[in-house]
Amino acid sequence: MPIVTIQVTREGTMPGAASLTAEEKAALIKGSSQLLLDVLGKPLDSTFVVIEEVDTDNWGWGGLPVQEFRRRRAARQDDRRPLVRRRMT
């Protein structure tokens, strides 16, 4: 009896959404269960899937709260983008 636990931050995947939609959760459950069937031969009716949505305040990455980590990573990526000069016409 496999148990799959999926943890995601509670942010939603579309503007205005505060969490995953029921359709997204259903797709995660179906996909995880199918993966265990395909790889390990575990019957669909023996697989349990638990989806845990975690507030970003309770999620850390790289020693920082996730929002701060993302902010810093985005700033580093902006610094690496090449400057494009406009052609004067």
Active site positions, annotated: 2
Which amino acid belongs to residue 21? T
Answer whether 21's CB lies under 8 Å from 27's CB.
Answer: no
Q: How far apart are CA 67 and CA 44, in angstroms?
A: 36
Please check whether residue 2 is in contact with residue 9, taking contact to mean a CB–CB distance below 8 angstroms: no
